[in-house]
Amino acid sequence: MLLVVTGTGTDVGKTVVTAAVATLATGRVAVVKPAQTGIAEGAESDLDVVRRLSGVTDTHEFVRYPEPLAPATAARRAGIHAMPVAEMAQRISALADHDLVIVEGAGGLLVHLDADGHTIADLAAALDAPVLVVAPAGLGALNATALTAEALRARRLACAGVVIGSWPSAPGVAEWSNLADFPRYAGAPLLGVVPAGSGGLERAEFAAVARASLAPELGGDWTPPRDAGRDAGDSAHHE
């Protein structure tokens, strides 16, 4: 099985969600980061984070570009020929003996991965893989999620669902309202809510958080609260 993880933008929690899905997966699991950009010397890459949190060591990074930009832009500025999406798809397809291959994109769905303007959406299409959308919790998230879902439908790609990548410790009215509204905007189920700061946990604690934060479709126990959408004045009842 293949699963592509994208986001409504950058810094929405894609890597931690990828690690959570990998943590709960059974059988032989691989995680692929086709293009990594902008990792400072001595800093963790996205796959370093996945390995640290999940314990999955079967990880694959195809190419790394120095600046924290869209992969095609970072490659061009570095004078490097960006790896074509067709080659990425071929290399990922070679992992077909795995029970699950999780592919984490860079940035959002339509960020250019190669010089021809191909995107993570094109990669998902080449792989015939469903796409899991990671979204932020607060203001602006619904519109960004709806646009991402619309782009998936336009390309006849399956949206596996939405996961909130960083749920704040003190959510307000926007966050609680969005919790109820995400399925309507995405046309797909809300499959989890990962607490902010989960990327700093130890592995055993992260495993427990992953199980409590992801829905059964992703191997966890999470279900949407019945009172999602209540106003911020009632939010204390959720905490």
Residues with a known catalytic role: 33
> Measuring CA to CA, how many Å separate 60 from each of 32, 34, 39, 122, 208?
5, 7, 16, 19, 25
Q: Could you tell me which residues are beta bridge partners of residue 104? A: 5
Q: How far apart are CA 199 and CA 218, in angstroms?
A: 18
Which amino acid does the sequence have at 68? P
Greatest CA separation for the chain:
55
- First-to-final CA distance of the chain: 36
Give the Cα-Cα-Cα angle 180, 173, 153 (nearest 5 degrees).
Answer: 35
> Measuring CA to CA, how many Å separate 227 from each of 140, 176, 213, 238?
21, 9, 17, 8
- Order of strands across the sheet with 59-65? 59-65, 29-37, 100-108, 2-7, 131-135, 159-167, 190-195
Q: Could you tell me which residues are beta bridge partners of residue 214? A: 192
